[in-house]
Structure 1
Amino acid sequence: MHTSLSLAKWLLTISLFTATQVFAQSPKTHQVSELVTPAPAFEVIVLGDSGGIEDGNLSAFLLRAVSEANYVALDAGTLVNGINQSIKRGAFTDLALVDDKKWGKAGTILRRHVKAYLLSHAHLDHVNGMLVSSPEDSAKNIYALASVNNMIGETYFNGKAWANFSDRGIAPTLNKYHMVDLLPSKTTPIANTQLSVSAFSLSHPVESSAFVIEHNNDMFVYFGDTGADVVEQQGKLAKIWTYLAKQVKHKTLRGIIIETSFENERPHNLLFGHLTPELLMQELGSLGRKIGGNAPLKDLKVVISHIKYTLAKDTDPRAIIAQQLNEANDLGLTIIIPKQGQKLLF
């Protein structure tokens, strides 16, 4: 019996030693586990990448959870033209389109697959596409802070600038769009999607907003027009950074869309509630410090929106801003300068 036990222990020791040696001599297996990246959680389609003045390419993005075929529009400066340009670039190739015999592909996407609008503020370059497409749009919700919804009603859906396609305000109301007032920092489900949203106020000549969009344990953040805290002196971005720093402890921040309207050379008193590359990096640095740790924002995808188009000769704001962002990027960010019609995964 003693001999049998000793033999068994000896065989077990040899087995463990052999297994340890095999694992130690198989670095490829260990490396593969380190290189595995999480599957995408969100898809973004760039309907409009510019901050004006190029009509037909104004601020607008579509976002969906990859687990469903329904989008929300993040602002709507350009809508139908943006969808058409995205179709040409093959951005919707993988989308399981609803079979709608009455409408073409663009009409089907707008009417059947865009389920809601998240409007950051009421400036025309962020809502124009929704307004002009409203006669052939389908019924859906408009989510915004109360001041934004009120301004849209007063300025556009008033029977003068445009027919009132909403369900509130000046009669006659056509009741196509249901206006939903978001309470700051409160999470609200987005109807007919798997997404939820929390809105935060931003500093701009009119109240603007950022949207933290969530799906299960994943987050994506969209910023409307915003000034930097150091310029605006209202601390609104600091509130968002504090919120995100708490959330990333148990959720994954997949990406950010945020504006950079002007080059660094633009004086602060002429920014009018916008960011430069230098100011953006200062703000994202604040987020990193609140999260803490070693390189907390490394590889975070940051999409730059609202770069101001210009008719001036021999001037390329996109190239200048891209260079200034890359030169200042000491946070390890993955900076993306988007193009209209492009599909991005996060």
Structure 2
Amino acid sequence: MKNWYKLLCGLLLAIQVVSAQTKNGKTFTIIPLGVKGGLDESNLSAYLLKPTGGTQYICLDGGTVRAGLQQAITHHVFPGRASDVLKSQVRAYFISHPHLDHVEGMLQNAPDDSAKALYGLPFCLNIIQDKYFNWKSWGNFADAGDPPALGKFRYMPMDSGVATPIADLDLEVSAYPLRHSAPGQSTAFLVKHQSSYLLYLGDTGPDALEGGNNLRQLWEAVSPILKARQLKGIMIETSFPNEQSDHALYGHLTPHWLMTELAVLDSLAGPGSLKGLPVLITHIKPVGNNEARIKVQLAKGNALGVKLLFPQQAQVITL
């Protein structure tokens, strides 16, 4: 009887928590495993994401994994061991592009990881297969490529703009191509849970410098969602302060270029649509006082009135 009573109390508590979260309008829970744009191998781009109230995560990029999970355990976000969380609660990776600061942790932990789906646009998965999981750079822990293919990770190529349901997580994810130091490529992932959305962008430069209209096309796809007030937030990079010259950006954004691009989205959705929207600044290069300068410049240039947030490793964010 005691066990049944404890189980019933636990279920009631879980219902109360989910109800409170729904009332507060919090749809997504984000746990940053790494937030920096290179250099610090213990803090590279990777973000756990789940529907608030759930227990299973997807991981947006995989630059730092185990070190980030260990930080989350130290901050009492998870109990137990990092390897246990990785194996039992992280269901899939979504990789924006195959640069090392976005895949290093995923690769390093593959030998001790559990079976997972590996999602991305074909260009990204092809490079991971050909350049990393090839028995020259690293063992082939995936289900295709140079033999023997160990089959731990399942390649799941995505079609641009097509929603992919994630089984048992009540999530759908759509991928949109980006340019990253043309002709380099990257990806934006639009995550949907019920009627709410979160937009995550991998590394990208502004259309004016990248020589294409990838961001414009992304903004056109997202603007109806923003206009309908279904977009919970945008996670987007600002790697350098405004002092960085355009020819030395290498496919990245500054505060000036970020606000220029967001102004395009605002105009498409209707002036004022971005006011108060959480915009999470990712991929700041940890050099000198870059972060301090970027924060000041973003605040000064925030004519759109977005809510600027700066994710920190292992600090939980709900949107």
Note the residue ranges of structure 1 that are not aligned, 5 or more in a row. Answer: 1-35, 94-103
Provide the C-alpha distance between the structure 1 equivalents of 2:146 and 2:168, rounded to a whole number of angstroms: 27
Check conservation: 1:302, 1:334, Cα contact below 8 A: yes
Identity across matched positions, percent: 41
Task: Pick the aligned partner of 1:187 from 140, 155, 163.
Answer: 163
How far off is 1:191 after superposition?
A: 3.0
The corresponding residue for 2:16 is none
| TM, length-normalised to structure 2 | 0.90
Distance 1:247 1:330 in 2: 21
* Deviation readout 1:190-245 (Å, 9 max, x if unpaired): 23421110000011143100000000100001100001011112000001110111
Which whole-Å CA distance do the structure 2 matches of 1:56 and 1:84 have between them? 10
Aligned residues: 296
AA paired with 1:156?
Y
1:114 maps to a residue whose letter is V
**SS class of match (1:76):** coil
Residue in 2 aligned with 1:73? 59
> Could you say what secondary structure the match of 1:263 adopts?
coil
Determine which of 1, 25, 31 is the counterpart of 1:45.
31
Q: Which amino acid aligns with 1:109?
A: V
**TM-score between both structures, scaled by the size of structure 1:** 0.83
**CA-to-aligned-CA distance 1:228-275 (integer Å, 9 cap, x gap):** 011112000001110111233446100111000111111111111100
Per the alignment, residue 239 of structure 2 pairs with 261
Deviation at 1:334, TM superposition (A): 0.8
Unaligned 5+ segments in structure 2 are: 1-21
Residues in 1 aligned to 2:97 and 2:168: alpha-carbon distance in whole angstroms: 23
The answer on whether the counterparts of 2:227 and 2:273 sit within 8 Å (CA) in structure 1 is no
Q: Which residue of 2 aligns with 1:292?
A: 270
Q: Could you say which structure has the larger radius of gyration? A: 1
How far apart in 2 are the matches of 1:336 and 1:247? 21
Shift of the 222–141 alpha-carbon distance from structure 1 to 2, 3 Å rule, reads: same
Counterpart in the other structure of 1:337: 310
Give 1:5's aligned residue. Answer: none
Query: How far apart are the structure 2 equivalents of 1:258 and 1:164?
Result: 31
- In the alignment, which of 197, 207, 210 is matched to residue 173 of structure 2? 197
Give the match's secondary structure for 2:61. strand
CA deviation digits over 1:125-171, x for unaligned, max 9? 10000011111110010000000000001110000110000001111
Matched, 1:215 2:193: yes
For residues 77 and 219 of structure 1, what CA distance do their matches in structure 2 show?
23
The amino acid of 2:290's aligned partner reads P
Give the secondary-structure state (helix, strand or coil) at the position aligned to 2:134: coil
Per-residue CA distance 1:40-66 (angstroms, 9 max, x = gap): 000000110100101111011100001
Q: Aligned letter for 1:48?
A: G
Q: Structure 2 CA distance, aligned partners of 1:324 and 1:73?
A: 30
Alignment of 1:76-87 (within 5 A): 76-87=62-73
Given the alignment of the two structures, is residue 116 of structure 1 paired with residue 96 of structure 2, yes or no? no
**C-alpha displacement at 1:338, in angstroms?**
1.6
Q: Which amino acid aligns with 1:220?
A: L
Give SS of 1:127's match: helix
1:174 corresponds to 2:147: no
**CA offsets, 1:283-326, max 9 Å, x none?**
11111110004x2111111111110112xxxx211101011000
| SS of equivalent to 1:110 | helix
Matched, 1:54 2:35: no
1:278 pairs with 252, 256, 271, which one? Answer: 256
1-side partners of 2:103 and 2:292: how far apart? Answer: 27
- The Cα shift of 1:67 comes to 3.4
Partner Cα separation in structure 1 for residue 72 and residue 276 of structure 2: 26
On the 8 A contact 1:115/1:193 being kept in 2, the answer is: no
Inter-partner Cα distance in structure 2 for 1:53 and 1:316: 14
